[in-house]
Amino acid sequence: MSELYDSICLTSVEATVLSMMGIDLPDGIAPPNRIVLEKFSDVRADRAVLYNPDAVALWIFQKYTELFADAYSVSDLAVPLLSVMPSVTPVCFASMYTGVLPEVHGIRRYEKPVLRQKTLFDVLIENGKKPAIVSTSGDSISKIFLERDMDYYIYDTIDEVNAKAHELIKKDIYDVIVIYNGNYDARMHKTGPESEDSLNQLRRNIADYRAFAEDIRSFLGEHTTFFGFMPDHGCHEIDGDCGGHGLDMEEDMNIIHFYGLNRGTSDDT
């Protein structure tokens, strides 16, 4: 493995979320991210809002750091992570939310079957928690986590997805909300990772993350809420001024996550 690859794997996400919520970890999953747990060692969350923008690479963050000012301003820490191979969306989100590598959960190429591996959502449900997914139709998160006893809000556009996510945060009816936005990825494939159109979509992702964090403060104040900006893989430029991903290379494998905690006032946290 390259010495320039990040050392903490994407598979740590499930255990990190569960640990932050004080839920026992299922056997066989990757350990939690100790950087996150040590940062928030004095408290546990009773809510989580997990925002999943697609294809935000560490190198993009490093080159265009000022674009991420709003993500910094609402988060408590930023942590580089290593994606999984092949670095394509269904494989990566399956690994993120099962806590295991592709050879275990079974999605090993760009396909979107319903996962039979136990997921974060299954563990939450087993522990009496109420999760929901808000995503665009046909995308990986809207398909591979189906057939669970939970709510799915699937829409045609990013605008509809984010409007519903804001509504659900304000209503405070779910313990965990997962939100997917694929707009940067979609534009990056057509015009390249650094085109103005692509960077504008990234700006939107960052602004939307800040808006979700502000809603958490405004409407979930009695709860302690763990939240994050959590992409799946990176990207690189290919011929024809387009963008791609899926390779075992630093540009595709190294990503950046932001995490925050809004400390609530409830005696239950």
Confidence band for 156, pLDDT divided at 50, 70 and 90: very high
* Mean pLDDT along residues 230-255: 95
159 domain residue, yes or no: yes
1 domain residue, yes or no: no
Q: For residue 99, is pLDDT > 90?
A: yes
Work out the percent of the chain whose per-residue pLDDT is above 90: 95
CB 269 within 8 A of CB 223: yes
CA 109-97-198 angle, 5° bins: 65
4 domain residue, yes or no: no
Measured distance CA(155)–CA(3) in Å, rounded: 41
Q: 170-210 pLDDT, tens per residue?
A: 999 999 999 999 999 999 999 999 999 999 999 999 999 99
Q: For residue 1, is pLDDT > 50?
A: no
Q: Which two tokens stand for residue 3?
A: 């010495």
Confidence band for 240, pLDDT divided at 50, 70 and 90: confident
**Residue spans of beta strands (DSSP E) within the chain:** 47-53, 77-82, 131-136, 151-155, 176-181, 225-229, 236-238, 242-244, 254-262
pTM: 0.96
Tell me how many domains the chain contains: 1
82 domain residue, yes or no: yes
22 domain residue, yes or no: yes
Of 256, 252, 199, 209, residue with least CA distance to 231 = 256
Question: How far are the Cα atoms of 144, 190, 246 from residue 35, in angstroms, in the given order?
Answer: 29, 36, 27
Q: What mean pLDDT value characterizes the chain?
A: 96
List CB contacts of 232: < 8 A, sequence separation 6 or more: 10, 52, 54, 55, 83, 89, 92, 93, 96, 255
Confidence band for 268, pLDDT divided at 50, 70 and 90: very low
Q: Count other C-beta atoms under 10 Å from residue 116's C-beta.
A: 9
Query: How does DSSP classify residue 218?
Result: H
The identity of residue 3, as a single letter, is E
CATH of the domain at 206: 3.40.720.10
Measured distance CA(76)–CA(72) in Å, rounded: 7
Domain region containing 152: 12-262
Q: What is the pLDDT of residue 2?
A: 52
CB 234 within 8 A of CB 83: yes
73 domain residue, yes or no: yes
Q: What is the pLDDT of residue 56?
A: 98
* Mean pLDDT along residues 5-12: 96
268 domain residue, yes or no: no
Q: What is the pLDDT of residue 224?
A: 98
Which residue has 């919520």 as its token pair?
21
2 domain residue, yes or no: no
Confidence band for 239, pLDDT divided at 50, 70 and 90: confident
Q: For residue 269, is pLDDT > 50?
A: no
Q: What is the pLDDT of residue 3?
A: 64
Measured distance CA(148)–CA(139) in Å, rounded: 17
